[in-house]
Structure 1
Amino acid sequence: MLKKEVSICDLVPNMRIAETVLNDFGSVIIMENTVLDEHLIKKLQNQNISKIKVFEETNKPVTKVKEVFQRNYNQGIYEVKNIISEIIIDKDVNMEKVEKVVDSVIDMSDEKMDLIRCLNQIKSSDEYIYTHSMNVAMLSMLIGKWSGYEGKKLQMLVQAALLHDIGKTKVPPEILNKPGKLTEAEYEEMKKHSTYGYRMLEEKRNVSMDICLAVLMHHEREDGSGYPIGAKSDRIHDFAKIIAVADIYDAMTSERVYKERESPFEVFELMEEKTLSQLSVEVVFTFLNNIASYYIGDLVMLDNGKIGEIVHINPRHVSKPIIKVDDKYLDLTVEKHVKIKHLL
């Protein structure tokens, strides 16, 4: 396929990048073959780059990848709504519909940039139960692929992730939708959702025990502090370890009635801390060292009120990137008093 050099000022949406673009730190901003949208064009224009190479695709129109992805994502959430509604009405899980959503999630894996951007959108708190199920499925799929999962194993992981909170359909709505802090008794009832989900799936002949165990154990922790059985380390199913990381990331970066969303880098910091005792070191390492790179080139608001650009991710301290503010560089591993407040 022919390539041509284009001025940064002449970039338009749907152009396809013909070379991997690096910043001054040697960090990847955009991978080769990425299809540009307005967000990515602005990201490139913030760099000290005058021209880049794009593919000449004159024989056929370029598919609007972002629009197609968004449509598939929204369709997935609609299907999740139907699955959950049927469970509430019929008390049964339609595995054919679940498998259809899982197939669509796996098909999205080639468009990681759009997938991660969808995850970072502010979601309506009223839609949380549906978007959270979809997002945890997508995140688990990414972690699975980064960990070498494929075929049937990847499908089962994504099924378990999509269904991980299905037991919440048996939790009283007044507890599930309570805007404030739960009482101790309410929290104990909420914790039963993983057991409820396990029992709902265990009854179905066409659901693997691996999926059932992942749903049961997604709140277990490496040190035995989780629930419902207090399993430790090697007693926790591998799928559950992945879903636990995906669950925490999406829950903390989502807007809720009772709390504001947190920035991805606040969540990365929490994960780095929890890895010492509660989360799988292997899963957290895989997740952080793959997802963090997608934020290079993004603008952020710091807690000192200044706006900066993420220019480098330190693989040893993913939560503490190097930020360019005006003509200065702030290394957050050194400037410990400065934190990223939110993405712009």
Structure 2
Amino acid sequence: MRLIDIENVEPGQVLGRTIFSANGTILLSTGVHLTVFMISTLKRVGVTMIYIEDPMFKDIVVEEVLSESTKRAVIQQMSESFDALRSGKNFNTKAISMSVDSLLDDVLKNQNVLVQLSDIRTEDNAAYIHSLNVCMMATLVGVNMGLNMIQLKELALGALLHDIGKVGAPEVEEGRSHHAWRGFEMLKMKREYSLLISHVAFQHHEAIDGSGKPRGIKGDEIHLYAKITAIANIYDNLLSDLSEGRRLLPHEAIERLTAMSDTIVDREVLIEFLRIVSVYPNGISVKLSTRQTGVVVGQHRGLPGRPVIRVIDKAGDDAALASEIDLAQRTTVFIEGVLA
């Protein structure tokens, strides 16, 4: 399985990862042979990169923190909740809480798996995939920081609902019109939820140096849950934002986040965050300092920037020889770039 740019996908290639619709149902399943119409549709709905099956890399597995069933359940609940709010109704707090319980079970079971955000985003599902990713990453950081189960549940709920104030929000976000403030006002009314959950929505755009919104609080005035969620939120936004003409790749997003340390984001929390993410996800093509190119096929927890690379050397018109370079062992070899 390889991760490639949608512009390089050809009819007949086999989809390697399931693509979800906005309501959590399956839009395209793993194993489907892509047609010209499917590829055009994926481009139209905003997909930029997808996983495809490749016989030369058929053994590559993208380990997942969350099961497919958990993802579907969370996305479905987020879709139903946002639809209810748009209709002027209350969302089902119990259903959201139950889906978070499933997510917590998966996170605790797979807490040693490095995060590789492999779910394909479309214009319709982007908001729900974002909430799911932020929740999952924030919870993993919370586990690493030794939070207990009650704290993890509060953090997970706050992270999942951090953008709830965007539903029906005005275009101009200032003061009490800012979606963080609106989210706080909505969540603090939910008696089933701890007030700390509403403060995650309230504070996830605040900055350590006081330059954030909506209130400009700083440092220890910002709750730990919000500091954790803020980093997960920024990271996922960097991977999905097209404001710079393209989405950043994980290693670029991590460089951008690192530059925000102790100004926008908390340094100690950032250190814990960097321990849970894969800098170069499995299936991505890279160029090495040896002038060779290859595909990432394995990860090292604790050394996310030093993965295992499978290098392909042509041995004839129809043959190729594969060898693997473990960058954790080959300390003089470096990744110089990521290939689309």
Alignment gaps of 5+ in structure 1? 1-37, 47-64, 176-185
Aligned residues: 269
Conservation of the 8 A alpha-carbon contact between 2:240 and 2:248: yes
Which letter maps to 2:260? K
Alignment of 1:94-133 (within 5 A): 94-109=92-107, 110-111=109-110, 116-117=115-116, 119-133=117-131
SS of 2:285's equivalent? Answer: strand
Distance 1:99 1:312, change over 3 A: closer
Conservation of the 8 A alpha-carbon contact between 1:312 and 1:323: no
Q: 1:300 aligns with which of 281, 285, 288?
A: 285
Distance 1:206 1:121, change over 3 A: closer
Distance 1:257 1:122, change over 3 A: farther
Conservation of the 8 A alpha-carbon contact between 2:175 and 2:215: no
Structure 1 residue 236 and structure 2 residue 235: aligned?
A: no
Match of residue 136 from structure 1: 134
Match of residue 261 from structure 1: 247
Match of residue 160 from structure 1: 158
The CA deviation at 1:249 is: 1.5
Which string of whole-angstrom CA distances, capped at 9 and with x for unpartnered residues, describes residues 136-167 of structure 1? 11111111111112311100000000110000
Q: Going by fraction, where is helix more abundant, 1 or 2?
A: 1
Match of residue 224 from structure 1: 210
Conservation of the 8 A alpha-carbon contact between 1:171 and 1:190: no
Q: 2: distance between equivalents of 1:43 and 1:214?
A: 41
Distance 1:136 1:190, change over 3 A: farther
Structure 1 residue 81 and structure 2 residue 67: aligned?
A: no
Structure 1 residue 198 and structure 2 residue 196: aligned?
A: no
Conservation of the 8 A alpha-carbon contact between 1:265 and 1:340: no
Which letter maps to 2:178? K
Which letter maps to 2:154? M
Alignment of 1:1-344 (within 5 A): 42=57, 69-109=67-107, 110-111=109-110, 116-117=115-116, 119-172=117-170, 175=171, 186=172, 188=174, 192-254=178-240, 259-292=245-278, 295=280, 298-302=283-287, 307-309=293-295, 338-340=336-338
TM-score, normalising length from structure 1? 0.65
The CA deviation at 1:312 is: 7.9
Which string of whole-angstrom CA distances, capped at 9 and with x for unpartnered residues, describes residues 98-143 of structure 1? 20121111122123588834x2232112211111111111111111
Match of residue 4 from structure 1: none
Conservation of the 8 A alpha-carbon contact between 1:123 and 1:255: no
Distance 1:303 1:274, change over 3 A: farther
The CA deviation at 1:314 is: 11
Q: 2: distance between equivalents of 1:147 and 1:337?
A: 30
Which string of whole-angstrom CA distances, capped at 9 and with x for unpartnered residues, describes residues 43-96 of structure 1? 8689xxxxxxxxxxxxxxxxxx97x91122122101110111112213424211
Conservation of the 8 A alpha-carbon contact between 2:306 and 2:327: no
- Superposed CA RMSD in Å reads 4.0
Q: 1: distance between equivalents of 2:220 and 2:203?
A: 12
Q: 2: distance between equivalents of 1:263 and 1:206?
A: 38
SS of 1:308's equivalent? Answer: strand
Conservation of the 8 A alpha-carbon contact between 1:143 and 1:286: yes
Conservation of the 8 A alpha-carbon contact between 1:43 and 1:298: no
Conservation of the 8 A alpha-carbon contact between 1:255 and 1:261: yes
Conservation of the 8 A alpha-carbon contact between 1:160 and 1:215: yes
Alignment gaps of 5+ in structure 2? 1-52, 313-322
Which string of whole-angstrom CA distances, capped at 9 and with x for unpartnered residues, describes residues 156-205 of structure 1? 00000011000001314xx4xxxxxxxxxx35489700000001112222
Conservation of the 8 A alpha-carbon contact between 1:125 and 1:256: no
